[in-house]
Amino acid sequence: MPDFLAQVALGPVQGFIAAARVMRDFAFGSQLLSYLANKTADYLKAPGRGAQLIFPAQVGAINSNKIMVIFHDHTAQDVRQKLIDTEQLVRAELHDMAESFFSTFAPDQLESHDVAVWQVTDVLEYYWGMCEVTDAGYASAVQTLDRLLAARKMTRNFVPNQHASNRFKSSLTGTYESVIPDSRYVNTHDSSDMRQQKLQALRTVYGIHGAEYLSGVDLFKRRYQIPHVSLDFVSPRAMAARSIVVGMNATKFASFDQEWQKFAHKSFWDATPDEQAELVLDEDADRFDLQNWFANNADTLDVSDDFDDEWREFDAKVRNVDITLGQPFRQSTVKVAIFDGGLKYLLEEMSREGDFATLKDDITTLRELFEIQLPPLPQRGTMRSILKAGERSSTPYYAMLKADGDNMGKYVSELAIQGIAAHQNFSNQVAQFAAGVPAIAAQYHGFCVYVGGDDLLVMVPLRNAIACAQKLQSDFSNALAEIHTQHPTLPPPALSIGCVMAHHDEAIDDVVKILNETAHYAKKRKSALAICVAKRSGSTLTVAGKWGQFDVQMQEIMEMSVERKIPHGYAYELRELLMRMDNTSLPYLDNVMASDAKRILARKKQSENQRVDVDRITRLINAVAVYGDRTGFYGQLDQWVSQVIVAQNLSV
């Protein structure tokens, strides 16, 4: 009887994983697909089915959503039936997981138990292909199977949503309806106590804040614990805290850690991620702490008659009543609105923006009239003292890396010619690299969110982003070095990596969207690193270049920025120069720009910082490779300015 090659693919992949508002959603999505893929491999190689694993070569060796196997001495009907049976087992596994999870909710905590279970089971895409290994050989079968699977993906079944309704759709995907009853959310008729009770219940029961609508799939990702799978993860806020600490030298860290231990009773690096996250000053928490303090203490403060007259009018505007009904300060129920944060709070809660549109100036005036000095709040004061001890300020930013191997399809095609053993060896080498990724992330105080062979995602502190990317690239190249030596016509093995500097409060799905674009930007260049600064205010800025040149330059610029050898504001002055000289019809302006750039640097060195290294900066400018549309010195200077701005952001 002949041999049959088969491949199974599970999905959805990128869309399902990236549908995440918080880090747990994101980490769980990849963990679930990996768990089901490993179950698939287990079922396929179990006695009675007897498939030989090719990719991955071992169960659990690699977190991939694709499994390639070979059935020796089987009929086509036998192979087809075993693949059908395996799909049924995997779908039953997911159904049982969903059933057990949603059974933990009380009947009034879900709009419909059955709908929630159906949504989870419906989301899984499971498709497979098979072909006979003919006299044309194994490599030909691999190519045929790739084409079959691609065709199967394009013709997969779409089952109608039999549970469709006019309920709110998922806040994450907009695909399925929310399964959280409307009565669980805060509405305008709720009392203050009821509002607090509902918000607390939303957090404890569903793991959400405010008005986030979750489908069964979203709720499953947010709250379910996969059997025997640890879902420990580091939050973006905790990673931003690590960005602060990584920037300290040994002496400053010792002073910082001494103060930190008074707060956490352990060293910073021994603290849990949740404890570390406390180091990042939360602007929203500060605002509400300030409001709470003011609400509790305002009645003990002296209020002038002039202020009270102003306040009555303000109170009437806020409550949308006649001006004659305005309450004096002591009786007023809207005292927290004296702060800008209080105004924002009122706008969100009362949804009457039109009534408050012109009040910001009024509030500012009232604050000046009042001349109130608030004492430091305990937690805010504690964290600022701890940061001061390490001579560091808080940063809300962290870095996220996404990597993908270049030319992997060429390697698979070439090795398939050598047969199954060569293909399995390739799988094992990639798996060996993947197994080391979490340790690499930890070495740079980062966290591996997921790794699927050459496809991986890592969070890391800002200053360690490029160094971590370099280590991932070098280890990947080393893992496949022997295979490349045996096949010198293949391109050298390399990772293309995208890196994004992101704010810890940004929704993960928004960050991942930018990250995917950045990684694609690197992937187009092959064997490249692309870095994007995505601040909450302003547009994004992306720079990219080849390994061995660009990454080395960026590391050197970062080191110089830390040592103050690149003057503050220098890059932005050069950017203004570029804007003035942006005229392609006047090529001689390159000489003018070169002279003006030297003048700016010399003036900066004289006026700001004698440590500015002019020779080193000049050498780096001359070594910059131009990747944009503009050539000549303009393009070179433009690339340099962007690299300096990005590097200075990473070296905070």
Q: Which of 374, 376, 427 is nearest to 405 (CA)?
A: 427
pLDDT exceeds 50 at position 25: yes
Average pLDDT over residues 187-200: 86
Convert the pLDDT of each residue in 617-647 to its tens digit.
Answer: 889 888 887 766 666 788 888 899 999 999 9
- Name the pLDDT band for 452 (thresholds 50, 70, 90): confident
Please check the confidence at residue 458 and state whether its pLDDT lies above 80.
yes
Residue 488 token pair: 């010198």
What does the pLDDT read at residue 520? 94
Judged by DSSP in three states, 1 sits in coil
Give residue 370's pLDDT band: very low, low, confident or very high (50, 70, 90): very low
Whether 392 contacts 256, CB under 8 Å: yes
- CB half-sphere exposure, 201, CA atoms < 13 A: 17
- Tens digits of residue pLDDT in 568-615: 778 888 888 888 877 666 666 777 777 888 888 887 777 655 678 888
Distance CA 400, CA 276 (A): 18
Is residue 347 predicted with pLDDT exceeding 90? Answer: no
Task: Kindly state the tokens that stand for 642.
Answer: 């962007």
Contact 638, 630 (CB under 8 A): yes
Q: Which helix (H) or strand (E) holds 571?
A: helix 570-580
- pLDDT at 440 > cutoff 90: yes
* Cβ neighbours of residue 241 closer than 8 Å, sequence gap 6 or more: 276, 277, 278, 279, 280
Residues 548, 553: Cα–Cα separation, whole Å: 9
Nearest-CA neighbor of 462 among 225, 157, 240? Answer: 240
Report the pLDDT value the prediction gives residue 393, as an integer from 0 to 100: 83
For residue 464, the 8-state DSSP code is G
> Does domain 392-548 bear CATH number 3.30.70.270?
yes
Query: Residues of the chain with pLDDT > 70: what percent?
Result: 85
What mean pLDDT do residues 437-444 have? 95
227: Cβ contacts below 8 Å, ≥ 6 apart: 97
**β-strands 4-11, 125-132 pairing:** antiparallel
Q: What is the pLDDT of residues 45-75, one digit of tens each?
A: 888 888 999 988 777 655 678 899 999 989 9
* pLDDT tens-digit series, residues 475-508: 999 999 999 999 898 899 999 999 999 999 888 8
- Burial class of residue 344 (count of CB atoms within 10 Å of its CB; 0-12, 13-18, 19+): middle
pLDDT tens by residue, 381-429: 688 889 989 998 888 999 999 999 999 888 888 888 888 988 888 888 9
CA–CA separation, 409 vs 619, rounded Å? 39
CATH fold of the domain at 4-154? Alpha-Beta Plaits (3.30.70)
Residues 6+ apart with CB under 8 A from 595: none
State the chain's mean pLDDT as an integer.
Answer: 83
